[in-house]
Amino acid sequence: MSQLCTPPGPVSTWQNTPLHRLMLTALINQFENRLLTGSSATLTIEQWLLDNGMRASLPLRAERHGSTEPPCPAPYLDALGLGGSQAQTLRYRTIRLVADGRVFSQAENWYRPDLLSETMRHQLDTTDIPFGHIVRPLAFSRQLLLREGLWSPLPEGWQRHATLPPATGNALDLPAYLFRHVAVLRTGAGIPFSVVVETYTPESMRFAPPALPDCATP
């Protein structure tokens, strides 16, 4: 399987080769699985960056994004156990999780301020601390409502063909976004207090690919 050979010498970015496409697919799946099983997306991203030698990209900040406050969609109100008139009690926050000039995710958040402490409400209104850090004292859990894949390193139907996409000798062109999660957050007592819509960028994958000494063997 010569097409799975490692590119000559160490590389600093993902290359458009079959091997790198396969490796990146495995890493994206691993990263998403961590997010799906963790309670806090912020903490999961931060641990992923540490695990992959990206300590310089910490700490994450919640950079405010957008000035309009759209109404909470009906399915999200249902997930929060609220009726139409009660939607007026919700607060809205939209941010980008950023560090070191990189945007790691973009998030919309409808939350119930009545279930948060005064300190939490003040921090959400006046600081760039990520939501997950602010509400951590609630010992919250996370329930996935919707998962949407936005890009894959391997083309649709690749498994039905005899070969993987050929190498081009260029860097792999990564997209703006990898996948999107919609989740409801619940307090330690099981009360839903927030719905988040998180869209993840490929910045969490921008580390040097692992170097292999030899070509992969069947």
Residue 16's alpha-carbon distances to 11, 109, 165, 207, 210, in angstroms, are 12, 36, 9, 15, 15
Task: Give pTM, 2 decimals.
Answer: 0.89
pLDDT digits (tens, 9 = 90+) for 135-162: 999 999 999 999 999 999 998 888 777 6
Domain definitions of the chain by residue range: 2-150+167-204
More confident residue, 4 or 107: 107
pLDDT of 134 over the 90 cut = yes
Q: Which residues contact 119 (CB under 8 A, 6 or more apart)?
A: none
pLDDT of 199 over the 70 cut = yes
CATH class of 2-150+167-204: alpha beta
196 near 109, Cβ under 8 Å? yes
Beta-strand runs (E) in the chain? 61-64, 91-99, 102-111, 141-149, 179-186, 192-200
Of the pLDDT bands very low, low, confident and very high (cuts 50, 70, 90), residue 55 is confident
**Tokens read off for 113:** 């301020």
Q: What is the mean pLDDT of the chain?
A: 89
pLDDT digits (tens, 9 = 90+) for 63-108: 998 778 899 999 999 999 997 667 778 999 999 999 988 999 999 9
**Partners of residue 150 on adjacent β-strands:** none
**Tokens read off for 138:** 């609630």
